[in-house]
Amino acid sequence: MRYIWLFLLAVFSAAQGVILTPSVDYLFLGGQWADVPKFPGDVGLYKLSFYLADKHIDVSIALYGCRGVSAEPLRVPSAGPGVFEAVVKVRAEALGISAGCNVLFKSKYLEKSGSLREGMERIEYVDITVPNYPSPQVAAEGVLYLGVKGRVKLRVFDVYHYNGTVEISAAGAKLYGPWRAAGDLVNLTVEVVVAPMDFNAALVVNVRARDALGREVLVTRQIPLEVRPRPTPIVVKRTEWARAGAYNPVGFYIKYPIPVNGTVYLLDSSARLENGEAEIWATVYVPSGGITIPLVIQLDTGAADRFEVFLPAYPIASPLLKISAEPAVLTAGDANRVSLRIEYPEVFEGQVSVSGGAVLGPTPLTFTASDRAVLNLTIIPNPGLVTFEVVVVTPSGNSERRALTLLATQKTPFEISAEPLEVPAGGREVVRISIRPLVNISEALVTFYPASGAVFPQTSVRIYGAAHIDLPLEVPADVLGNVAVGYRISYTLASGISGEYAGTLYLVATQRPALALEVSITPERLTAGSPFYLNVRLYNSGGVETRDVRLNVSGPVKVVRAPSPIGSVPPQNSRDALFTLIADQPGEQEVRVETTYWDRLGRRYTAEKVVKIFVNESATPATTATATPKEDNAPLVYTVLALIAVGVVIVILGVRRHVKRSS
């Protein structure tokens, strides 16, 4: 009997080793910043990740023992099962420091197999590095004159090295470049050409960089410019007097004390202002008593100086010639029908000359009339002013000359639009461009070419009216912000006049999300029929959020437990998902992990990862699969069989001895 009890005890001990297999109940997965502090004393968000095999109730998370950082304790009603992420608020006393911290995980109760048990307490260790945060400063050096181009030195600086992009614009000023610069923002200097149009003019500097999490940081600084009044030019009359009631040549000399460029306007005449000097002449009709002549000096920057110069005149008889025209305002670049009415109190011969536009017909136009005449002209004006000069001569030899000036306004010949206005960086998009003529055209040749950001071959299309053109284009992955598509339109009006119109369409290049998959398997040695864990970490290396992330596992495995829906993954952030799987077939297998996700514009993306696993043969029939992975039990089974055999031999020997003694 003693041998029988030894045999039963050996069998029970071996079976206990097979059944009570250790499992993974708790893992600390580490920590990372979810939102970094932006200045000393600011509060950031730090994410601590744990794997919990069971549900924990009344959970407390705390960070303590840190130098330079402090954290608020976190308490949640429950956590687990699965990956549990706790986000705690961390206050940093300074930026650019590192601190070692203790992590306390404590739960009051533990729910296991449908019953409550006493919770657990674990202390972990984590190194927290508080990164620097971009906070560039900007300064401008240089003196400018109001309305005049000048150069200022723009300096962007910070306390640590990092790369960024500087976008420059102006408030109350005109910027002539450069508009954009990039480099190390610890000390970046840019020479900017700018013309202040106001004494409160300033440069607006947008600095774009990325923080330690890869998120874009936009810092806007406004730098006032030192602006002084523009010096007054010297205006000298070349003509001191004029004849009243007649056309007279009038001239002026202009001199600025600083080198400026622009255009001088004297009625319908103009002259170029170079290095602050110009001379201009015009023919002016001077009435009796003299005339005040307006003189306008417009600089290249758009600033203008205006003067009124009085010119005295000798009186003559009042003019008898009267002229008028309809319409009073013309459309530049298009055919206009103008009705010109001329009145003179006797028989006369007349001549009409037109400047500032093209006349469809003979020019100059001659005619004969009595008292009045109405002439219908077809004119294609240039932008600006159109002048009709009328000269009449009577049979007695008297003559009179008068001029009439009409305004010709510029009308845009085409309306251009694009859809969509947002295109993905690093992708290909078909943009539909709509063209609607605003003037009466017979045909037009439209040419599209890449101006900046977009990549596509130059394309030309001939149209005969309103049209929609599909333009496939690609945007490189490193292009963000404005993407420019240039166009030229050579058109012919129904009147037969040709013209050209050019412009630029601006699109916005947006970043793409990009999920990378990292897969790990626990335990390392797999057995057919036994469950194992497959942990998938999804890292969004793109610049925008991924939405509606879906994860799927395929291959010669069974999914025992799938993770909860992932939802979205912020840029430069990660999410963990844990699958519980069973492989029934031994040998080398391939497990395919696939994810599908979308961006905010509804574009679909996919990513996949193939993992090779080796599955060992099972020594015992497969039991019902659970979510807890088991160790390889083949050596234990062999031990049990050996103990059973030894026990049987001992029992047989004991029985034989008992029979011999009885006999």
Task: Spell out the domain ranges in the chain.
Answer: 1-21+633-663, 25-130, 137-228, 234-314, 323-405, 414-510, 515-631
Q: Measured between alpha carbons, how far is 99 from 494 in angstroms, rounded to an integer?
A: 78
Q: Measured between alpha carbons, how far is 583 from 630 in angstroms, rounded to an integer?
A: 13
- Give every CB contact of residue 604 below 8 A, 6+ residues apart in sequence: 596, 597, 598
Count other C-beta atoms under 10 Å from residue 19's C-beta.
Answer: 9
234-314: which CATH architecture? Sandwich (2.60)
Q: Measured between alpha carbons, how far is 429 from 639 in angstroms, rounded to an integer?
A: 67
Inter-CA distances, 196 with 224, 230, 305, Å: 10, 10, 15
In this model, does residue 60 exceed pLDDT 90?
yes
Identify the CATH assignment for 25-130 out of 2.60.40.10, 1.20.1090.10, 2.30.110.10, 1.20.140.10. Answer: 2.60.40.10
pLDDT value of position 317: 53
Q: CA 611, 616, 622 angle in degrees (round to 5)?
A: 110
323-405: which CATH architecture? Sandwich (2.60)
515-631: which CATH architecture? Sandwich (2.60)
The residue among 387, 388, 371, 443 whose CA lies nearest residue 414 is 443
Sole residue written with tokens 């910043």: 33
Phi, psi of 543 (to 5 degrees): -105, 0
DSSP of 58-87, one letter per residue? Answer: EEEEEEES-SSEEE--EEEEEE-SEEEEEE
pLDDT value of position 617: 85
Minimum mean pLDDT range among 154-158, 194-198, 395-399, 434-438 = 395-399
**Tens digits of per-residue pLDDT, 417-455?**
988 888 877 778 888 999 988 777 888 999 999 888 888
pLDDT value of position 637: 42
pLDDT value of position 248: 79
Who wins on pLDDT, 442 or 46?
A: 46
In this model, does residue 357 exceed pLDDT 80?
yes
**Tens digits of per-residue pLDDT, 591-647?**
999 999 988 777 788 999 899 889 898 755 433 333 333 344 444 444 445 566 656
In this model, does residue 235 exceed pLDDT 50?
yes
137-228: which CATH architecture? Sandwich (2.60)
Q: What is the CATH number of domain 414-510?
A: 2.60.40.10
Predicted confidence band at 394 (pLDDT cuts at 50, 70, 90)? confident
Q: How many residues does the chain have?
A: 663
User: Same CATH fold, 323-405 and 234-314?
Assistant: yes
Minimum mean pLDDT range among 277-291, 305-319, 350-364 = 305-319
How confident is the prediction for the chain on average, in pLDDT? Answer: 83
Inter-CA distances, 316 with 292, 346, 401, Å: 18, 20, 14
Task: Find the mean pLDDT for residues 262-290.
Answer: 89
- Check: CB of residue 441 under 8 Å from CB of residue 492: yes
Q: CA 99, 131, 133 angle in degrees (round to 5)?
A: 145
